A and B are shown apart, each in its own frame.
Chain A
Amino acid sequence: MEPMILEYTVSADDFSGAGEASGDVKKTLKSLGFPPEVIRRVSVAMYEAEINMVIHARGGKITVEISPDEIRVCCEDVGPGIPDIDLAMQEGWSTASDKVRGLGFGAGMGLPNIKKYTDYLDIKTVVGQGTTLTMSVAV
């Protein structure tokens, strides 16, 4: 069976719109009858990635592939890249601005949450060029 493909554009600095793509994926997965735990894991991981793109990466593109046995999410941005992935993966490490922290973000939980809630995570990043994050949740 061909996977169902959903594509989203994430706008830079659009904190109001952030979460719309994840919300839409959640709704789609729910209507397709995926188990609640799978839906929750995909929603959390994808929302974190979406917010990261808004905060750090001047927006980007998200592609979601829905198959009966796996949900794969690919997030591509042309942002500043991640200079030290090990540091970025540490809980509590954040480079978010005070403005962003004031909105309730910047806990340094983004990438750790993504890692925790997915079965597969791959981060390709080049400083100055951008980051591509591929993750999947097995059903």
Chain B
Amino acid sequence: MTVNDVVKIPEFEIVWQEEDRQVTSVFTCDLLSICMAKAPEDSAWVTVMGNRNVIAVASLADVSCVIAAEGCSFDEEAVEAAKGKVTLLKSPLPVFETACLVHQGLV
């Protein structure tokens, strides 16, 4: 599965799109230190945080995309910071259901 497949999931909305890349797993967490240490490389990261620090963590952990679930959105600074770094999406669904939609594409 790639990011281009994730952005095609009808429930999701693209906030910012980068070049396509592999998605090999899905990861959910909101505490940045845990995400930093545990988010697998090439994962789709589902969170409710939408600040600029999320982009820094996404970039350092090298995740494929970040999905803001529960109808949460990324603030302007975060979207600006994501340019050249990582694809951002929004989902109106809860974290678990959002992650499940990505997971369905992985199995």
Contact = CB atoms under 8 A, between A and B. Distances in A.
> Which 10 A/B pairs are nearest by Cβ-Cβ distance?
A19-B56, A109-B33, A104-B32, A107-B31, A43-B60, A107-B33, A104-B49, A16-B52, A113-B37, A44-B36
A113 to B, nearest CB: 5
Contacts of B37: 44, 109, 113, 116-117
A26 B62 CA distance: 10
B34 interface: yes
B7 to A, nearest CB: 24
Interface residues of A, number: 25
B31 to A, nearest CB: 4
Interface of B is mostly: helix
Contacts of B61: 40, 43-44
Nearest to B47: A104
Interface in B43-89: 49, 51-57, 59-62, 77, 81
A16 B41 contact: no
Interface in B5-47: 30-34, 36-37, 41
20 contacts: A15-B51, A18-B53, A18-B56, A19-B55, A19-B59, A20-B56, A22-B56, A22-B60, A23-B56, A26-B59, A26-B60, A47-B36, A47-B56, A48-B33, A48-B36, A103-B51, A104-B30, A104-B49, A105-B32, A109-B31
Interface of B: 30-34, 36-37, 41, 49, 51-57, 59-62, 77, 81
Contacts of A105: 31-33, 53
Contact of A103 (B36, B53, B55): B53
